[in-house]
Amino acid sequence: MACATYSSSDVPLLIPLGGGTSGSTTSVLDVADSGQIVSLTVTLDGVHTWMGDLDFNLESPGATSVEVMERACSSDDDFDLTLDDLAGSSIPCPPVGGGTYLPSNPLVVFNGEEVNGQWLMTINDNASGDSGTLNAWSLDICTSSPVLDGVIVLNSAGLGTIQPPDWTKMVSVNLSNAGGADLTWTLAEDSGSNCDAPTDIPWLADLMPLGETTPVGGSTEVSMVFDSTGLSPGQYTADLCFDSDDPVTPRVVVPVTLDVVTPLFADNFESGDKGAWSISVP
């Protein structure tokens, strides 16, 4: 979390701008930093007779508006205070002395908004006959920076193939990065230890690539060969272990299955009898 004070350079300004009549004054404060708001306080300093004539409205770059001080203190003069949701007491009369007090309406509504952009302080003078000056105003804002990490996404939760003995078949899975930073990952094989003790799987060959860095929004096609050479009919299982710097899902285990089946036709089928053939299914 980072905290900073931002002071408006758009001061001093008359209240109201025309002086001596009712109306409004709007002062601008530009914030060049970025981040999501965690907390915010407002400091106001100025002079004006009959503070009960005035209300103060703060508007964020996201167009959220809060009336931070609402026609306080009737005939008392001037203002010099900080407004904070965590203060222990309400605005005193007169509102001077530089203390910290509760705003008329909570500032917490700004939390979660982006701090960057133009903030506006609008002071409405609801009565004629007197005027004043906004000497200074500022915001103390604490923000949190968005965490930018890679996010691993695989387009398949499991891979498998059915093939006869002495056969090879290429299979692939797509790995993509849905996060806000590059994703670095590695790939290993495992025989069923939930990837705690990776080991070579003889019937799983030519895994490519075994790791790389996938950029934001990018994807990588990971290929492998299921090889049933020398295997008896039956089911063979293993796991693919994808380890990455994704902080939420640092390891993804993808089960793989090879079903080796007896061929439907006998050997030397190519030299068998010619003519019509039929298959009966019980």
Tell me the per-residue pLDDT of 12-50, one tens digit each, with 9 for 90 and over: 999 987 666 678 999 999 999 989 999 999 999 999 998
Of the listed ranges 142-146, 237-241, 256-260, the least confidently predicted one is 142-146
pLDDT of residue 204: 95
CATH no. of 152-260: 2.60.40.10
Of the listed ranges 37-51, 156-170, 198-212, 267-281, the least confidently predicted one is 267-281
Whole-number average pLDDT of the chain:
91
Structure tokens at 148: 């930018």
pLDDT of residue 120: 98
Please say if the pLDDT value at position 248 is more than 60: yes
Q: Is the N-terminal amide bond of 209 cis, ω within 30° of 0? A: yes
69-113, pLDDT tens digit by residue? 999 898 999 999 999 999 999 999 999 999 999 999 999 999 999
pLDDT of residue 194: 83
Residues pairing with 46 in the sheet: 79, 134
CB–CB of 48/54 below 8 Å?
Answer: yes
Residues of the chain with CATH 2.60.40.10: 152-260
Residues of the chain with CATH 2.60.120.260: 2-144
pLDDT of residue 192: 79
Helix (H) or strand (E) holding 114: none
pLDDT of residue 63: 96
Residue 272: C-alpha distances to residues 18, 38, 267, 269, 275 (Å): 107, 80, 9, 5, 10
CB–CB of 91/105 below 8 Å?
Answer: no
Q: Residue 231's closest CA among 197, 194, 268, 258?
A: 258
Please say if the pLDDT value at position 274 is more than 90: no
Please say if the pLDDT value at position 118 is more than 60: yes
Look up residue 244 and give its amino acid. Answer: S
Structure tokens at 96: 């001077």
- Right CATH for 2-144 from 2.60.120.260, 3.20.20.370, 2.130.10.10, 3.30.565.10: 2.60.120.260
Residue 282: C-alpha distances to residues 234, 262, 264, 278, 279 (Å): 22, 18, 15, 13, 10
Residue 280 confidence class, pLDDT cut points 50, 70, 90: low
Q: Work out the average pLDDT over 218-233.
A: 96
Q: Residue 204's closest CA among 166, 258, 154, 254?
A: 258
What DSSP line would sit under 124-185, residue for residue? Answer: EE-SSS--EEEEEEEEEEEEEPPP----EEES-S-EEEEE-SS-EEEEEEEEEE-SSS-EEE
Measured in degrees and rounded to the nearest 5, phi and psi for residue 138 equal -150, 165
Q: Residue 262's closest CA among 115, 164, 183?
A: 164
Residue 273 confidence class, pLDDT cut points 50, 70, 90: low
176-225, pLDDT tens digit by residue? 999 889 999 999 999 878 898 889 999 999 999 999 999 999 999 999 99
Structure tokens at 247: 């902080």
First to last CA, the chain: 71
- Selected residue with higher pLDDT from 144 and 275: 144
Residue 269 confidence class, pLDDT cut points 50, 70, 90: low
